[in-house]
Structure formats: C-alpha cells, structure tokens
C-alpha cells in the first residue's frame, strides 16, 4: 500500500566530512499508517545502480541520533525511539568519494514488525536524483 512512497528524492546527496566526500544519503518513510519503534525495523536492503549496499556500510539517522544499521536489529536495541508516519529516516551509506551527482536507480526493500501480525514487507524501485 505504501510501497511507492517509502523511498523519497528529498535529501539524496553526497555526505561530506572534513572537506571530503565520505558517502551518500537517502531518506525513507515508514511502510505503515502509524509510527513504530525503530527496534521494529526488520530489514533495510538497498541496491544502488545494481550494486547491493553492505549492511555494515549503512548508518541510520533519526531525530538527531545516529546508529550503525546492524545495531537497530539487535535484541537489546532500545524500544523508545519512534519512527513516526511522515517522518524521514535518513540512511547514510559510507563510501569514499560519495556518489556522482545526477540520476541513479535505487531499489529498497523495507520490512517492519507490528504487534500480533507478521512482518510487513514493502519494496520500491525509483530513479532518484542526487545533488
């Protein structure tokens, strides 16, 4: 139902640190009609221009906090950090040199858990323009 909306063009750009491109970022929206704790994220899989993004290279940023992607999958991840409907979840991909400006094909698979129901899977493929 929300598949076409989970991947957004907004905020797609290279990430700079100390004057050097160290990665790039995409923004996601939740695949559910209400918010969920971040610990209910079951899966974020990204593919950019046909290349799968390794989990270890992803950093999740939300409400001024930053987490290595594998950390939010851990059983002991806090349950009080909420990803609300309409909020953007920023995923930074560590990659020396960032990403070239222009259009890139991005594929996303997002899985979230909800109480008393199976994992909800959503997928989206779009051509996004990176600044």
Place 2 in a pLDDT band, splitting at 50, 70 and 90: low
Output the average pLDDT for the chain: 92
CATH number, position 81: 2.60.40
Residue numbers of the domain that contains 109: 3-130
Q: Over the stretch 7-53, which tens digit does the pLDDT of each residue have?
A: 998 999 999 999 999 999 999 999 988 889 999 999 999 999 999 99
Indicate the pTM of the whole model.
Answer: 0.89
Q: Both tokens of residue 71? A: 């950390």
Q: Both tokens of residue 45? A: 């899989």
- Number of domains composing the chain: 1
| Cα 116 to Cα 55: distance, rounded to the nearest angstrom | 27
Q: Both tokens of residue 65? A: 């906090």
Bridge partners of 90, per DSSP, are: 27, 61
């Amino acid at each position: 139902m929300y598949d076409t909306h989970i991947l957004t063009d907004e905020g797609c750009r290279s990430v700079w640190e100390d004057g050097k491109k160290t990665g790039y970022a995409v923004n996601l929206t939740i695949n559910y009609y209400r918010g969920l704790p971040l610990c209910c994220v079951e899966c974020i899989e990204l593919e950019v221009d046909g290349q799968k993004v390794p989990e270890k290279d992803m950093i999740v940023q939300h409400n001024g906090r930053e987490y290595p992607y594998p950390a939010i999958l851990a059983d002991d991840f806090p349950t009080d950090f909420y990803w609300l409907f309409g909020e953007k979840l920023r995923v930074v991909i560590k990659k020396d040199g960032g990403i070239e400006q222009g259009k890139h094909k991005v594929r996303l698979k997002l899985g979230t858990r909800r109480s008393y129901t199976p994992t909800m899977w959503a997928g989206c493929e779009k051509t996004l323009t990176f600044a």
